[in-house]
Structure 1
């Protein structure tokens, strides 16, 4: 397919229009090099380099499916479950609540045109960084739950209602409150009391978005994650498994000065060691317990998802303490946030967008939120996953353990997806490397520049 002639639609406008607008802003592949006076031939070479980079980005967008605007149809007679909440789509109010809640997730996709990544000349993660992006989305959801008030949503109700759950692009509705938040040219508009009260929440939301920006200083941006991945033997352009990404996220949160009251715990050997979690969270009075994000890497079968685990996955997504699952389907990783019947609801990072300059006042937030719910059959899910949970305090953590343990221990036909243990993990064990005398550990060589691997590395097979 020639991306420059496609007439398909993306987010309410043609894919051709989108690419042409984005390409005008794309820097050359040699971004960051000292500027020199260029001759006519040098300028032509630079233009060819730019065009090549644009074409590669466009092809990746086509290859990974985001050049086509795919609408998912939902069954109005069946409840839709999304991270612990049920939505009856026959009810207009609940349908709007679902729209707003889904569009409030941070959608972190491939980007292009940023500064070269550490140790490389890459200025895009298109084609190899999808697991890092889904890991960012999982962490972002935990941060939103941690920092924002209960029930917070960013995408407030739009005026129009569409039966196919196709959420509005701001340009479709001039009176949309979503557009009003973005509209910096409407400063003369009188603000309601509600708008004034929402300002601190909007500022905090924008702050969280900036933490994931494509900038070396962003604590959870692609540059920082690639840098932290070096200790695990990974570099820019490598394929990152969900388990390694979980450990990278833990290191990123530990290194951040902005989140002193939050820790990340990564389960080992499909086991949550409760003494280790308590050791991370407990601290002297008056603040006796830190909030915790618990990440559990698992592999739910061999080459395909074991059908007996589907009911367990559904039960986990019904829990309010669950903040999502990263895993996806063969060839690329997705961020799962809910389900309806036998289909998973997800956000897809496989759409290459231009980098947003977060240093600019009131930088645009639209590209960080997905307005189109998408779904896929459970049978297509890749068995390699990392499941995330959040607990605000000690009581919430104990309740989380009880609820999650009940959800994963429901089938006598299979081993539990993972377990909780009151024991302390062996102190002499290096983090991230399971005990060789416990359960089977699968390892493969690193896969460079490849997102088509079946992700059997770094997982315990259960």
Structure 2
């Protein structure tokens, strides 16, 4: 890596990565101010110039990727967040497209207010793990706040003039298309009714998006994540591992006044301690629980996943309680949301977009949603990852423990990815991620001693 770009800790791409640089996004307008500022002698201006030059280089090298379309087979289903879609069926194929386009897509941004303690106004080249962490949290928030089966009704926003198709919602939450060509008056009445029904959900949708805005006051924005990362020894421009990001997300939700009924629990040493979860979720009212997002940082073996772990990851992604995986390739984080056959389905944060001013009324939402799903072979997945789950209440958490344990049992010939354990952890409550520790993973009648002093990215080696 070029020393002049030391702030960009995100690894480079090989030709086989299928992430091509899109030079078209490097416009002459964006380059012109940088040339004009070279002659200035003021220290602050020189710092801003350096930041812009580094951001431009990072964006060219890492950030501006083509929105490529992956090919999907019609002979096998696509699994995404516990739902199975048969692509050979037109209706299910359209349902999959709407469901995927409804996921929140958080990418590199440029042109936001300076991050505290530096002159950076973009996270291009170094913030990919933070962005995938945002997407993982966003998926949990959509499950927490939106009705089951909610999808973003794109036709109300992107195709304002096209009233040929009105997307309405059925009782069970699924979307269906309705032909409204019977007449302009009838069509207008149906559109008004659809807009009226969608209004509360659309307001919540916009509120969730605003929480991830690139501004200092946003509770889950890049500024807040970088600030909370300082307690873990990280700063803007550094590489954030998936484990560090899991703890940052826990802190952001705990500090937010907008989500009093939600907690984030981060597993310690590949173990979910049930007493710790219960203590976090219990409320003063009898029989009342908070909702919980459970994040499990793990490292699945050595340099690549073996077949047993691939099978287990597939099983976890078929569960409706799973809200995705922060992972990807080494120093190149992606957000995995499902799979088809031996290929993972993902959202890619490595696409640098201009910052959106969410203070404007009806700010555009299109850049927060991705139309084209991408695929990657399981064999290319980096073993270091963080797996997320969501439970709305106590019964949901008990069900989560049951189905996740069943999924973990598929890796019978290897040690489990993680385990559930009664009792509480030995770590002090609210501590940072442990680095050099000795971990014991219970397996039937024995246990294995694991020295994690050489583990990469603060993960436990299995």
> Normalising to structure 1: TM-score of the pair?
0.81
Match of 2:399 in 1: 399
Spell out structure 1 runs of 4+ moving beyond 6 A.
26-29, 38-41, 45-55, 176-179
Q: Whole-Å Cα distance in 2 between the matches of residues 87 and 75 of structure 1? A: 11
Shift of 1:457: 2.1
Aligned-CA RMSD value = 3.4
Shift of 1:46: 11
Contact 2:308 2:410 in 1 (8 A): no
Match of 2:328 in 1: 328
Match of 2:343 in 1: 343
Shift of 1:341: 0.4
Cα 1:375–1:49 change in 2 (3 A) is: same
The alignment status of 1:93 with 2:91, answered yes or no, reads: yes
Matches of residues 197-208 of structure 1 in structure 2 within 5 Å? 197-208=197-208
2:452 counterpart (442, 454, 458):
442
CA-to-aligned-CA distance 1:40-59 (integer Å, 9 cap, x gap): 9759x999999986665454
Cα 1:282–1:28 change in 2 (3 A) is: farther
Contact 2:63 2:352 in 1 (8 A): no
Q: Whole-Å Cα distance in 1 between the matches of residues 267 and 83 of structure 2? A: 26
CA-to-aligned-CA distance 1:139-192 (integer Å, 9 cap, x gap): 00000000000000114579xxxxxxxxxx94799558799xxxxxxxxx7742
When the two structures are aligned, how many residues end up with a matched partner? 411
Q: Whole-Å Cα distance in 2 between the matches of residues 229 and 125 of structure 1? A: 14
Shift of 1:254: 0.2
1:146 counterpart (141, 144, 166):
144
Contact 1:441 1:459 in 2 (8 A): no
Match of 2:209 in 1: 209
CA-to-aligned-CA distance 1:197-241 (integer Å, 9 cap, x gap): 101110110000000011000000000000001111111111001
Q: Tell me the SS of whatever aligns to 2:247.
A: helix
Match of 1:34 in 2: none
Shift of 1:331: 3.4
Q: Whole-Å Cα distance in 2 between the matches of residues 127 and 153 of structure 1? A: 31
Match of 2:73 in 1: 75
CA-to-aligned-CA distance 1:359-389 (integer Å, 9 cap, x gap): 1111111111111110010000000010000
Shift of 1:413: 1.2
Q: Whole-Å Cα distance in 2 between the matches of residues 351 and 81 of structure 1? A: 25
Q: Whole-Å Cα distance in 2 between the matches of residues 155 and 127 of structure 1? A: 32
Q: Whole-Å Cα distance in 1 between the matches of residues 239 and 140 of structure 2? A: 24
Contact 2:298 2:384 in 1 (8 A): yes
Contact 1:155 1:178 in 2 (8 A): no
Cα 1:441–1:359 change in 2 (3 A) is: farther
Contact 1:101 1:155 in 2 (8 A): no
Q: Tell me the SS of whatever aligns to 1:390.
A: strand
Shift of 1:432: 2.4
1:20 counterpart (23, 27, 31):
27
Q: Whole-Å Cα distance in 1 between the matches of residues 427 and 417 of structure 2? A: 24
The alignment status of 1:227 with 2:237, answered yes or no, reads: no
Match of 2:266 in 1: 266
Contact 1:210 1:358 in 2 (8 A): yes
Q: Tell me the SS of whatever aligns to 2:336.
A: strand
Unaligned runs of 5+ in 1: 1-13, 30-37, 159-168, 180-188, 445-454
Cα 1:395–1:19 change in 2 (3 A) is: same
Unaligned runs of 5+ in 2: 1-20, 168-187, 441-448
Q: Tell me the SS of whatever aligns to 1:294.
A: strand
Q: Whole-Å Cα distance in 2 between the matches of residues 378 and 131 of structure 1? A: 19
Contact 1:104 1:369 in 2 (8 A): yes
Contact 2:37 2:46 in 1 (8 A): no
Q: Whole-Å Cα distance in 2 between the matches of residues 15 and 125 of structure 1? A: 18
Match of 1:130 in 2: 128
Q: Which has the higher strand share?
A: 2
The alignment status of 1:253 with 2:253, answered yes or no, reads: yes
Shift of 1:282: 0.6
Shift of 1:288: 1.0
Q: Using the TM superposition, name which of 335-344 and 194-203 deviates more.
A: 194-203
Match of 1:361 in 2: 361
CA-to-aligned-CA distance 1:85-139 (integer Å, 9 cap, x gap): 0000011111111000001111001111111112211111111110000000000
